[in-house]
Amino acid sequence: MSNTRSPRTTDLLELLMGLAIVGLVLFIGSFLRLRADLTNEKRYTLTPATKEMLAELPDIVYVKVYLAGELPADLQRFSRSVKELLDEMRVEQPEKLQYTFIDPSESEDEKTRKETYDQLQKEGLQYSSIRMRDKESFSERIVFPGALITYRDKTVPVQLLKTQLRTPDADIVNRSINNTEYELANAFRQVTQKDKAKIAFLEGHGELEPMEVADITSALSETYDVSRVRIDEKVDALSRTVQGMKYRANDYAALIIAKPDSALPQRDQYVIDQFIMNGGRVLWLIDPMNAHLDSLRKNQFSIAVPYELGIDDQLFAYGVRINKDLVLDRSCAPIELYTQPYGNQRKLERFPWYWEPVLIPESKHPIVSNIDPVHLRFASSLDTIATDGIKKTILLTSSPASLAQRNPVRVSLNVVDMAPPFERQSTPYMPMAVLLEGEFTSAFLDRLPTNFTNDPAVAYREKGKRSAQLVVSDGDVIGNRVDQSKGMFYTLGFDRYANAKIYGNREFIVNAMNHLLNDKSLISIRSREITLRQLDPERIVQDRTWWQVVNTGVPILLAVLIGMVYQHFRRRKASRPA
């Protein structure tokens, strides 16, 4: 009897062996987690800060994402990106992170849909009415591009797609994809944290009113406990004495000084100084000159002179000087003015307004990395001062085509007709925002009587704990536009001519506060950037059928071709003599 196997038996054994090998590989793979992120910008890799935050989740966090159903192509891509990110997060915490995608418009009953929309708005999500394009027509659809994060009995809304435009374009979607990890990580932190760091806006010296900083107050309140405080020359305004401790304990983690227009009394300066010495962080947003656009409404020009704020020596001691000048910059915001009448009508035209610099961040520091240009109004230049033990980082500068006019400054509307001589007199890259970090020395060193400094109730400290301060030579950088007639305010960074938020002031201030309070994990997440490789939307519509046929038919043809080649070689092998 011949021991030679038949070709059919050989093929069957090979098939069974192949299936056994595949089964073994799948069985072993079920116990292993092997993943490789081959993208250039590591878009599928979580930052170390996010991984650390996920590892510290105390209990189950449930995420409801309202990006499902029939969506335009950009939002479908955004939805996939959110799902991929949540899947990566679940790899880190599979037991404590759960999510689901929900279509708020899935019900065919109009009343049910409206009730769902109302409920989501009560929860804090905003909707967008978008136009969806088919081959030959358009249709309107309500979408809620956000999520609800629930932890135990607390729910936090997250607006994943942040735009004031009617229809999100590819760039807006890409920005949202860039920020998704930050938004979710920040929401997880909000919903799980017990105590918030306390920060305060200083008032009592003509600082910006609550309505003028309402938007940034809302943004900071997501992470911090925000309030307002008056010093009124009271030593206990920002700190308190603690029994058994040599120095005072601060009541706030950070202080925001937003555009004072009157002098700070010496005692108020001292309280702020000791707040810094005891580890407090300060965000100085200072206008050194009293220039205002309102003063030009009646006259064609005004004379800007310095404010007498009394804080020059204090800032000098910390390592910075705000110059008494105004910066004109070719990179600037526009202004609309009426030109000479043509016939019986005056014409409203738009001009570059050199007094309002638009600063494009050049620094790679996390505070300004990956943010939009920052808009200033009647801003000044800064100088850094050599101070032992203090690290100084320039965050924002003017453009290469900029110059500074010294005090007193004639501010005129005629600047739109006669552009400043940037080619001949430019002083490029003038500092306008500087970060100071280190152990500061008291600005009142050797200036106070001994009986005062030795008083235990005062607890004077001449050398500070490690702290940080950020100085910006413009107070309007934090001020949102206010419509007094309607009693409403606009998003910080909103431009009335573009009718949209186009400036990065909001992100700049939030990042600054995160950094000052050592929340650097949030900044590291926000500063990552994902590059968009977008498709041509016109070709997507025009060539849709062609690509559907290609994507469906090519794999089938390849499979048939491979099968034919395999059969050909198999027959040749079988036809050979033994």
Q: Which helix (H) or strand (E) holds 404?
A: strand 402-406
Residue 225 contacts residue 196 (beta carbons within 8 Å)? yes
- What percent of the chain stands above pLDDT 90? 46
What contacts 24+ positions apart, CB below 8 Å, involve 543-550?
A: 544/135
Specify the range with the lowest mean pLDDT, choosing from 336-340, 356-360, 553-557.
336-340
**How many CA atoms, within 13 angstroms, populate the side-chain half-sphere of residue 507?**
26
Beta bridge partners of 227: 200
Residue type (1 letter), 416: V
Q: Count the neighbouring beta carbons within 10 Å of the beta carbon of residue 512.
A: 26
Q: Cα–Cα distance between 247 and 462 in angstroms, integer?
A: 11
Q: Which CATH architecture has domain 48-191?
A: 3-Layer(aba) Sandwich (3.40)
Query: How deeply is 225 buried, as exposed, middle or buried, from its count of CB atoms within 10 A (0-12, 13-18, 19+)?
Result: middle
Residue with tokens 């702020």: 272
Domain ranges (residues) in the chain: 48-191, 198-516
Q: What's the average model confidence in pLDDT over 459-469?
A: 93
| Between residues 369 and 232, the one the model is more confident about | 232
153-203: pLDDT as tens digits: 889 898 888 654 445 566 677 777 877 888 888 888 888 887 889 999 999
Q: Cα–Cα distance between 106 and 108 in angstroms, integer?
A: 6
Q: Which helix (H) or strand (E) holds 117?
A: helix 110-123
| Between residues 394 and 544, the one the model is more confident about | 394
Residue with tokens 């065919």: 108
What DSSP character marks residue 262? S
Residue 257 φ then ψ, to 5° = -110, 100
564-577: pLDDT as tens digits: 887 777 677 666 66
Gyration radius (Cα) of the chain, Å: 31
58-114: pLDDT as tens digits: 899 999 999 988 888 888 888 999 999 999 999 888 999 999 999 998 888 889 989
Q: Cα–Cα distance between 6 and 530 in angstroms, integer?
A: 58
Calculate the CA 242 to chain-centre distance. Answer: 37
Specify the pLDDT at position 165.
45
Residue 559 contacts residue 72 (beta carbons within 8 Å)? no
15-72: pLDDT as tens digits: 788 788 888 877 776 665 555 555 555 566 788 888 888 888 889 999 999 998 888 8
414-456: pLDDT as tens digits: 887 788 888 888 999 999 999 999 999 999 998 999 888 888 8
Which of 468, 399, 402 lies closest to 436, judged by CA? 468
The residues near 461 (Cβ < 8 Å, ≥ 6 apart) are 247, 248, 274, 277, 278, 442
